[in-house]
Structure 1
Amino acid sequence: MDNRELAKKIVEKVGGEENINSLVHCATRLRFKLDDRSKAKKDELQNMEGVITVVESGGQFQVVIGNHVPKVYAEVMKVAKISGETIKESTSTEKVGAVSKVFEYISGTFSPLIPALAGAGMIKALLAILTLLHWIDVDGSTYAVLNAASGGVFFFLPIFVGITAALKLGANPYVGGAIGAGLLEPSFTALLEHGARSEFLNLPLILTNYSSTVFPMLIAIAIFALLEKWVKKITPSVLTLFFTPMVCLLVMVPLTALVFGPFAVYVSDGIMNGVSYLSSVSAILTGVIIAGVWPFLVILGVHWGVVPIAISAFAKGGDVILPITAASTFAQMGVAFGVFLRARDKKLKSLTLGAVLSGVLAGVTEPIIYGVIMRYRRLIPIMVIAGVIGGAIVATFDVRLFTFVFNSILTIPAYQPPVKYTIGVMIAFLVGTILTFIIGYEKKKEEEIEPEQTTPVPPARDKKMAIASPIEGTLLPLADVPDPVFSSGAMGKGVGIEPTIGRAVAPFDGTVTMIFPTSHAIGLTSNDGVEVLIHIGLDTVQLEGKHFTAHVENGQAVNQGDILVEFDIAGIKEAGYKVTTPVIVTNTTNYLDVIADEPKEVVSGQSILTVIN
């Protein structure tokens, strides 16, 4: 199922576009706010292909998709005709608790910022590696530029929070950002140099550095949204363009500096001091509590409420909370890896391996939690035990974090000290793996997947399926394709073809599941479930569709031999690109093997690959 079709079905199952009040997404899930949640068909959504699970929490109806959620989100926005900058007036009569509203507000504010925060954090981790290896001069201009790239979003975080929080509440996002900018404006920050309290209209002004802060803006924008609504109501329409934002800025910037800012800073400091006090009493207990609770916050989808607390600590000695949660994250990866090692069912092995890679490389563990751990409930106590052991070790070592990153092996250098952090999370991973491998995931489920045979059954013969050549030309080993992404087999097993005729046809009966807007690449799924990618030429996406003519569209059923795309071989070569075409079975891991034919001249329809099931 392609993303467009999945989006259509999701919109239908949540009650249609008229039932959607607003929508944001985070790293793995679509976060709907629905007018009437009773209209949503939760059970049908949970069983839908492409959906991992559904969570109702924090006033949100959360549809967990996985790592490709941004693509599905974009399609849902189109299908449901949702504007990214407006939220319609809610008609919901459902009562949502105050705590749920707060978590919904915080998660809705941070979800759009995740890519920027995570990207900047990865650059910070890269700088740490380069510095450790002495490959970059920390006093040089190159370091300064890269440090600016990694630190800019955090320094100006009040502006970004002002924008996204205002969007969440349906207020003007640019005025919200301007409120944050006012707290970072040089003439205001220069007051800090005096080292004493200043005044505003004879009122005491408690000065603080608002760069990288979060809570002051969360409070300020909540009040701003109410103020803007009231000012618009009393202002003549002919004046509202300039009068409403003028009044809002005139009121909110001083009010934030006088009241909301200091109050929020004190609250944030109080929470961090509480964590520090608990850690001083017992670092082990601190690690056990935080790591033990964290996976359940993720399951409920309210874990983003912790992020503002962590970010506020970055500039004040570093955060201790997120390093401890990393132990829980690696424990989940270890549990999934244990299932992978123990499982005999190839589909379960494929699921767990993909989930482990998602966690290890990207720090995203929702596929593990919902796809594996919540499915096999015996794994829940193993996850908790492994997590609290690792969390206790990380807390004892007093590991700290100074920038926002996801918990993956690629971000290890961002944690200080990295060696002690690595010890803690690796122990969590190993404990999760070993306990899962010894205890097992769930006997009932294992029996469902691998039923015992009471009588001898002769071994089944392998089922084979031939994949026909979609292009006429010269067959090449995949290893000879001059592109490491394909030749390494990372995309799956297959072959290369050097075309002699500029036409690609369907290699089997099936469905077009993906065709790029540039028409240079086509994904198809056979009626038997084999997924094939035909990538015409190398780097030809840069031609932006020139020299390609598509004859099919996404979702279209095709028969073997139907024309998919025509392309101008001479034109592509004149533009400086190779026409070597990889033909890949992208779901290779679902099969026992994919065998390629020997190099030869082939015509369309001639067998080139054999898939063994």
Structure 2
Amino acid sequence: MANYEELSKEILQHVGGRDNIESLTHCVTRLRFVLKDDSLAQDEALKELDGVVTTMRAGGQFQVVIGNHVPQVYKQFTEIAGISEQTASSGEKKKMSLGARAIDLISGIMLPMIALLSASGIIKGLNTILFSMGLYTMESSYYVLINAIGDAVFYFMPAVLGLNTARKLKSNQYTGLLIGLILCYPAINGVDMNFFGMTVNATYTSSVLPVILVVALAAPLERFFDKVVPDVIKTFITPILVLLVAVPIGFVLIGPTANLIGFGLADVMNKIVKISPIIAGFVMGALWQILVMFGVHMMLIMPSITGLISGNPDTFMALMGTVSFAQTAVVIAIWLKTKDRKLKNIAFPAWISGIFGVTEPAIYGVTLPRIKMFVISCIGGAIGGAIVGGLNVTMYTMAGMGIFSLPAMINPANGSMRDLVNFLIATLISSIISFVLAMVMYKDDTVEAAETDTSADSQTRLGKTEKICSPVKGEVIDLKDIEDKAFSEGLLGQGIGLNPSEGKVFAPCDGTIVTAFPTKHAIGIVSDEGAEVLIHIGLDTVKLDGKYFDSDIVQGQKIKQGELLVSFDIEKITAAGFSVQTPVIITNSNDYTDIIPMKNSHEMVETTDDILTLMI
């Protein structure tokens, strides 16, 4: 297809025109659109175009599969559509409902710190275990230092969230960071401050939504001041004005609002507890995670904390004890069921952290972006809370969450285990219900690979043949089992899949490099015999933008079979959530009477082994 200009015009028309394009990127085989209105894209019309293999909708993108010629089409398309390089690679925005935008915002803010939250939660849990084993006391320097390592990200969470929020809202991220630090400043936390005759007493350390709301106020203020402040002084005047306006407004309004909500809820819940502990447990179990997100939970439990510290047993605190277990059970179910490696990598440390009672990684990294799963965790927490209330479980001392809450249920006066046993019963029921519901209802949000038989008749054919060697050392995969529709259905040509065991790609034949992709994740080769070979290292690895890949090959370079072409880090690519399945495709398959895989699925191959025979 040499007429890329005409093809580009047709594609532009059938994706809804220039005004419907939010952003555009491309990989080695396809154009990847983020459209303002997906419904305007005409799949069938696009598939009929000479030069378009197929269309796909996945990961929030509308993908037009072109094949090896996509760089030329992309270049022509951007010129015709008037899309600059900056616009083409810009962030992916979608039309979403208000609720979806809120979840997208919170998830986008929290996801960059999920790994640190998980690590910190595990450190806090291990520190408590070591303390419980008597290896050191809470007053020892070891405990204090390790606790600081584990607790810092939670204590100073507003600072990290301020930076992430500003980045998400495309404002000055360092202003967002500073707003978070200001909210954590010791002199203004937990003390009475008077403004215009109104007393404000608020604590923002370890909170989530207050800093997000303040930075959300600061972002439009920053854009406004950038327009009206003269260029010569805006560099420092704009942040001064933003901070002096946004922080006082946020502090004076958010603090009192949080206090009013908290005190009001505490009053209501205390009345409900007196009327019916079962109803109180159900409501608290259902709402606890939401209250934590809004930063108003401390007002609810402050009287209970004060009482426990003073040695007075409390029933109210016990009502929320099963929530972290319900959340953890949901994440374990997702971890077991999902086939998404990136999600597995997030979910695994999240449920370990959740066992220790630190559920932020689970909430923001796993369940909240999948709102049904978050609701299930709330349902499990509600059921657990209702059972705890019905069994009148009492907490006797201050303790952590998760498994560290269990010792607090033992009566220190007589060693009675009644409350602990009842709490474990409630936890078990809550966790089982949450786990089962999640296992039944969870589905990966991915495009399922359709199965098309691409196996070739092994009967010997007459005529000329060409052999293609394995470019990597590893395990053979049937092409139909590749986790990408464009490859699995043979839409880009026939071939074979490989699961590399070593991060090196060697030339599978003598030939010429015709496509040396800038992100180094894919290579196009034309063999000396005329075969067009595409080696695609991993799936969707174009998103890594060259990270974890190393290559010096250039377009037009002559290569010999067995020559090292690319090195890549399997562990880091996998840890980043990407599959390293490597399709080896003959993109001009129609030029051959047959393409015969020479190895069976799951068979191990070396780079000297022939994996394809091309029958001419």
Provide the TM-score with structure 2 as the length reference.
0.48
Pick the structure with greater CA Rg. Answer: 2
